[in-house]
A and B are shown apart, each in its own frame.
Chain A
Amino acid sequence: MTMTTQANRGVPLVDMRDIRVAFGGVHAVDGVSVDLYPGEVVGLVGGNGAGKTTLIKTLSGAHKADAGEIYINGEKATIETPRDAKKYNIETIYQTLALAENIDAPSNMFLGREMLSRWKTLDNRAMEQAARQVMGRLNPQFQNLLTPVQSLSGGQRQSVAIARAVHFNARILIMDEPTAALGPAETAQVHDLINQLKAEGIGIFLISHDIHGVFDLADRISVMLQGKLVGTVNRREVTKDEVLAMIIIGKLPGTATQKELAELHE
Chain B
Amino acid sequence: MSVTASPPVPPESSQAPSRRLRLGPSLRAADIDMRLLGMLGALALIWVGFHFWSGGTFLTPRNLWNLSVQTATVAIMATGMVLIIVSRNIDLSVGSVLGAVGMAMAMLQREILPDWIGYDHWAMWIIALAAGLLLGAIIGGLHGFIIAYVGVPSFIVTLGGYLVWRGVAWWQASGQTIAPMDKTFQLLGGGSRGNIGGLWSWVVGGVACLAIVFMAVNGRRQRTKFGLRLRPLGMDVGLAALSCGVVLGAVGYLNLYYLPERVAAERGGGDIPFGLANPVLILIGVTLVMTFIATRLRFGRYVFAIGGNPEAAELGGIKTRWVIMKTFILMGILVAIAAAVQTARLNAAVSGLGQSAELYVIAAAVIGGTSFAGGVGTVSGAVLGALVMQSLQSGMVLVGVEAPIQDVAAGIVLVFAVALDTLVKRRPK
Contacts and interface: CB of A to CB of B under 8 A. Distances in A.
Interface of A: 60, 62, 81-83, 86, 92, 94, 96-103, 107-108, 111-114, 116, 120-122, 125, 128, 139-144, 147, 151-153, 155-156, 183, 185-186, 188-189
A108 B14 CA distance: 18
A153 B13 contact: yes
B4 A141 contact: yes
B128 interface: no
Contact of A99 (B14, B304, B309): B309
Interface in B318-349: 318
Q: Determine which residue in A151, A155, A188 has the highest number of CB atoms from chain B within 10 A of its CB, and name it.
A: A151
A248 B245 CA distance: 73
B418 interface: no
Nearest to A151: B16
Given A92-B315, A141-B4, A121 B304 contact: no
Contact of B375 (A102, A108, A122, A156): A102
Contacts of A128: 226
Given A107-B301, A125-B222, A143-B2, A100 B309 contact: yes
Given A102-B376, A125-B222, A141-B3, A111 B16 contact: no
B153 to A, nearest CB: 21
B316 interface: yes
B305 interface: yes
B412 interface: no
A100 B1 contact: no
Contact of A141 (B11, B226, B314, B317): B11
Q: Determine which residue in B17, B226, B305 has the highest number of CB atoms from chain A within 10 A of its CB, and name it.
A: B305
Given A125-B222, A143-B2, A144-B14, A102 B317 contact: no
Contacts of A108: 312
Given A98-B312, A102-B376, A188-B8, A114 B301 contact: yes
Contacts of B5: 141
Query: Which 9 A-B residue pairs are closest in the complex by CB-CB distance?
Result: A100-B308, A112-B316, A151-B16, A102-B375, A102-B308, A112-B317, A111-B316, A98-B312, A83-B317
21 contacts: A60-B315, A86-B317, A97-B312, A100-B307, A102-B304, A102-B375, A108-B312, A111-B301, A112-B318, A141-B9, A141-B12, A142-B14, A143-B1, A143-B3, A153-B12, A153-B13, A153-B16, A155-B12, A183-B10, A185-B8, A186-B9
B427 interface: no
Given A113-B317, A144-B16, A151-B19, A122 B301 contact: yes
Given A96-B312, A114-B298, A141-B12, 17 more contacts: A83-B317, A86-B317, A97-B312, A98-B311, A102-B307, A103-B308, A103-B375, A111-B305, A120-B298, A141-B3, A142-B14, A144-B16, A147-B16, A151-B16, A152-B16, A153-B12, A153-B16
Contact of A103 (B12, B304, B317): B304
B312 A99 contact: yes
Chain A contact residues: helix, strand, loop or mixed? loop
Contacts of A101: 308-309, 375
A83 B312 CA distance: 13
Q: Determine which residue in B3, B11, B13 has the highest number of CB atoms from chain A within 10 A of its CB, and name it.
A: B13
B313 interface: yes
Nearest to B4: A141
Contacts of A120: 297-298
Interface in B385-421: none
Nearest to B13: A153
B308 A98 contact: no
B13 A111 contact: no
A142 to B, nearest CB: 6
Contacts of B318: 111-112
Given A102-B375, A189-B9, A122 B297 contact: yes
B198 to A, nearest CB: 35
Interface residues of B, number: 38
Contact of A98 (B16, B226, B316): B316
Contacts of A188: 8
A121 B9 contact: no
B297 to A, nearest CB: 6
B305 A100 contact: yes
A90 to B, nearest CB: 12
Contact of B314 (A82, A86, A113, A140): A82
Contacts of A81: 317
B296 interface: yes
A143 B14 contact: yes
A150 to B, nearest CB: 8
A100 B19 CA distance: 17
A122 B302 CA distance: 11
Contacts of A62: 314-315
A94 B311 CA distance: 11
A100 B312 contact: yes
A155 to B, nearest CB: 6
Q: Determine which residue in A83, A102, A120 has the highest number of CB atoms from chain B within 10 A of its CB, and name it.
A: A102
Interface string B134-163: 000000000000000000000000000000
Q: Determine which residue in B14, B19, B297, B306 has the highest number of CB atoms from chain A within 10 A of its CB, and name it.
A: B14
Interface string B221-245: 0100010000000000000000000
Nearest to A128: B226
A265 B16 CA distance: 42
A228 B311 CA distance: 27
Given A141-B3, A143-B1, A153-B12, A121 B317 contact: no
Q: Determine which residue in A111, A116, A186 has the highest number of CB atoms from chain B within 10 A of its CB, and name it.
A: A111
Contacts of B308: 100-103
B181 to A, nearest CB: 37
A160 B415 CA distance: 37
B313 to A, nearest CB: 7
A128 B297 CA distance: 16
A94 B17 contact: no
A259 B156 CA distance: 60
A86 B2 CA distance: 35
Contacts of A142: 12, 14
Q: Determine which residue in B2, B316, B375 has the highest number of CB atoms from chain A within 10 A of its CB, and name it.
A: B316
Contacts of B16: 144, 147, 151-153
